[in-house]
Amino acid sequence: MHQAALEAYVQAIGLDLDDLAVDGCIVKAPGGGENTGPSPVDRGKSGTKRSLLVEGGGLPIGCALSGANRHDSPLLRPTLETLGRFGFHLPDRITMHLDPGYDPRVTRNLLTELGCGWRITPKGAFLPINHTRRWVVERTNSWHTRGFKSLAIVTDRRAVVQAAWVALASAVIVIRRLIRKAWTAYRWDTRTARRP
């Protein structure tokens, strides 16, 4: 469903694949199971980490799940590999926007290997999020967590079910954006048609 929604969006409007952003989000998983681990931000309670890939407008196009105790950097490769499953025509130059958690040399080597540019916020430097292109991934993580109860607290123990919930939530976000864009275009057309 997520793939079908993205393909419809590509045909109707198009994705901004020049600027991509990735970020991790830790949520509670009280029942344990696959893709869970002790959360470093919740006193070692069981949690899940979602590493989310979004396009320049903030639409989710890929996600990798892991235990909450995993660092963001090792999750970057599986997260970026989700981009290939859609078969999009990728631009020649892609810029990845990342937070300081991705600062190690390994991340830069990976992005160089993939032919991507990068903008990584330096560690220890304060840079307001609205001065970067990363705010879209933070907003999408918030939509996932606040809009879908099954993603705010993970109760499913199997990885395939967890991934299905993420895909369903992502499809809903894409369809909502598609409807909003269509409604805006319709309203604009009706306004301009009435003018003498």
* Cα 71 from Cα 184, distance rounded (Å): 40
* Cα 57 from Cα 135, distance rounded (Å): 10
Q: In tens digits, what is the pLDDT along the chain, a chain of 196 residues? A: 888 898 888 888 888 888 999 999 999 998 888 989 898 888 889 999 999 999 999 999 999 999 999 888 889 999 988 887 766 677 888 899 998 888 778 888 899 988 888 888 877 777 676 667 888 998 999 999 888 888 888 888 899 999 999 999 999 999 999 998 888 877 766 666 555 5
Tally Cβ neighbours within 10 Å of residue 34: 17
Cβ atoms of 63 and 52 closer than 8 Å: yes
Q: Are strands 60-67 and 94-98 parallel, antiparallel or unpaired?
A: unpaired
Cβ atoms of 6 and 14 closer than 8 Å: no
The residue ranges of every structural domain in the chain are: 2-187
Tokens 């993205």 map to which residue?
Answer: 6
Q: Beta strands of the chain (E only): which ranges?
A: 19-28, 37-38, 46-54, 60-67, 94-98, 116-120
pLDDT tens readout for residues 5-62 = 988 888 888 888 889 999 999 999 988 889 898 988 888 899 999 999 999 999 999 9
- Residue 195's φ and ψ, nearest 5 degrees, are -65, 140
Superfamily of domain 2-187: Ribonuclease H-like superfamily/Ribonuclease H (3.30.420.10)
Burial of 51 (0-12, 13-18, 19+ CB in 10 A): buried
